[in-house]
Structure 1
């Protein structure tokens, strides 16, 4: 997900996106622990998406 797409969303949508990403990260970590995850780069992508969403949320909070 691109940061420009995130900037267009409101705070409620960003919080929902963050919740979804955290659930996805948990699922991927469980797959990794049980050796079911074959594409470990997914963890990196989800982790960076979480950071992007949190950054945009912080930027929006500081603007107010």
Structure 2
């Protein structure tokens, strides 16, 4: 996800996306532990997307 796309979303949509990303991150961590993960780069992408969403949510809350 690009930061411009994230900034265009409402706080409710951001929270929903954050929840979905956390679920996906959990599933990928579980797959990595069992050695079944196919897209290893996706783990880093999700982690960074979560950080971006949290940053934007915090900025919107402060404003």
- Corresponding residue SS for 1:17: helix
List aligned pairs for 1:1-64, cutoff 5 A: 1-63=1-63
Secondary structure, aligned partner of 1:15: helix
Query: What TM-score comes out, normalization by structure 2 length?
Result: 0.96
Using the size of structure 1 for normalisation, the TM-score is 0.94
How well do the aligned residues superpose, as a CA RMSD in angstroms?
0.6
Unmatched tracts of structure 1, length 5 or more: none
* Moved beyond 4 Å, runs of 4+: none
Mark the runs of 5 or more structure 2 residues left unpaired by the alignment.
Answer: none
> When the two structures are aligned, how many residues end up with a matched partner?
63
